[in-house]
């Protein structure tokens, strides 16, 4: 599961296909813009295939394999030519990296393509640190932040140290750990609307852990979790600011945070 031997950078100026993810595309384009900046800063050329929409998790996680495979094929085809495929989400990239292959056991053509795509696909922050060797960023963010480990990124892709290491190089930023940073926030895709009461309690526990750190800003690497947590924070009247880690790393957190009004 954990990729301990990442391939070496194939070229100094790789062409990276950005997997925008549906939530980023719809809700928070600033995260994708930040991702583009971070990738371009490493010398990579970023392309954004228009034929992408979603990774297919809603179908996959509801047992609808027919539609899930159709969407997976679309993603596989859309991202066939790039050196790397990178997205600002552990959940979507985890799906592409680990769950596409599982779906094409009986389809040799796409199995091979899915394996090929899996080998080229990375979550944004781990791609920057592990593949492109980025050790620091030249940006400033004044504030105390706490970081939530999104489950898929943490457990499917082994992302834990990378975001913390690189966040520590942001000027003005101090990182304080919350209790149970690795416990699910209660999002879980369609889980959160199927079982709202349970989901709400999980989110509430997460909010309490965030508050207890005294941090003024919450960061994470997955927009699903962030929308859920930000939504719950607002509902509880909590004004903690919420950003995707890419926005902070790219120095683009000067816009309103998630669920922040512009009065």
Partner 1 sequence: MQPRSRDFKALSAKSMKDESLQGALRQLETGFVRARRDSASALPEFEALRDQARDRLDDVLANLDIHLLAYEQKVKSQGGHVHWARDGKELCEIVSKICHDAEAKKIIRGKSMIGEEAGLNEALESDGFEVMETDLGEYILQLSKEGPSHIIAPAIHKTKDEISDLFHEAHKAHGLTERQSETSALVAEARQVLRQAFLNADAGITGANFLIAETGSNIIVTNEGNGDLSCTLPRVHIVTAAIDKVIPTLEDASLLLRLLARSATGQEITAYTTLSTGPKHPDDADGPEEYHVVLIDNGRSEMLGNEFREMLRCIRCGACMNHCPVYGNIGGHAYGWVYPGPMGSVLTPLMVGLDEAGNLPNACTLNGRCQDVCPVRIPLPGLLKAHRVREFESRLTSSLVRYGLAGWAWLARNPVIYHPLMNVSMRVMAVLGRRRGAFRWMPFASGWTDVRDLPAPQGSTFQSIWRKRERGDS
What residues between 7 and 36 interact with partner 1 by CB under 8 A? 20, 22, 24-30, 32-33
Residues in 54-73 at the binding interface with partner 1, rule: CB under 8 A: 54, 56, 58-65, 67, 70-71
Structure tokens at 207: 């909010």
> How many whole angstroms from its chain centre is CA 234?
22
72-111 mask for partner 1 (x: CB under 8 A)?
Answer: --x---------------------------x---------
Contact flag: residue 197 with partner 1 (CB under 8 A): yes
Cα separation values, 102 from 61, 67, 251, Å: 13, 15, 38
Quick one: which segment of 6-14, 116-124, 147-155, 246-254 binds partner 1 (CB under 8 A)? 147-155
Cβ-contact 221, 123 below 8 angstroms? yes
Place of tokens 């371009």: 40
| Minimal distance, residue 137 CB to partner 1, in Å | 21
Contact flag: residue 198 with partner 1 (CB under 8 A): yes
- Listed in sequence order, the residues at least 6 apart from 254 whose beta carbon sits closer than 8 Å to its beta carbon are none
Residues in 224-253 at the binding interface with partner 1, rule: CB under 8 A: 227-228, 230-232, 234-235
Sign of CA dihedral 121, 156, 151, 176: negative
Contact flag: residue 152 with partner 1 (CB under 8 A): yes
């Amino acid at each position: 599961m954990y990729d301990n031997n990442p391939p070496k950078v194939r070229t100094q100026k790789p062409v990276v296909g950005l997997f925008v993810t549906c939530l980023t595309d719809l809700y928070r384009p600033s995260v994708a813009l930040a991702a583009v900046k971070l990738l371009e800063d490493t010398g990579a050329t970023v392309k954004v295939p228009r034929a992408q929409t979603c990774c297919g998790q809603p179908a996959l996680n509801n047992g609808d394999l027919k539609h899930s495979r159709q969407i997976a094929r679309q993603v596989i085809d859309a991202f066939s030519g790039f050196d790397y495929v990178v997205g600002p989400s552990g959940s979507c990239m985890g799906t592409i990296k680990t769950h596409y292959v599982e779906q094409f056991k009986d389809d040799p053509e796409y199995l091979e393509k899915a394996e090929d795509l899996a080998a080229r696909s990375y979550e944004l922050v781990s791609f920057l640190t592990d593949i492109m060797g980025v050790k620091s960023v030249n940006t400033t963010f004044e504030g105390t932040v706490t970081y939530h480990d999104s489950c898929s990124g943490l457990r499917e892709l082994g992302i834990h140290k990378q975001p913390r290491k690189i966040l520590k190089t942001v000027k003005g930023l101090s990182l304080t750990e919350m209790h149970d940073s690795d416990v699910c926030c209660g999002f879980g895709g369609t889980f959160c609307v199927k079982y709202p009461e349970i989901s709400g309690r999980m989110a509430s526990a997460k909010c309490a852990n965030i508050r207890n750190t005294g941090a003024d800003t919450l960061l994470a690497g997955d927009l699903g979790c962030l929308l859920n947590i930000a939504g719950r924070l607002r509902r509880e009247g909590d004004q903690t600011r919420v950003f995707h880690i890419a926005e902070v790393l790219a120095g683009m957190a000067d816009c309103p945070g998630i669920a922040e009004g512009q009065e």
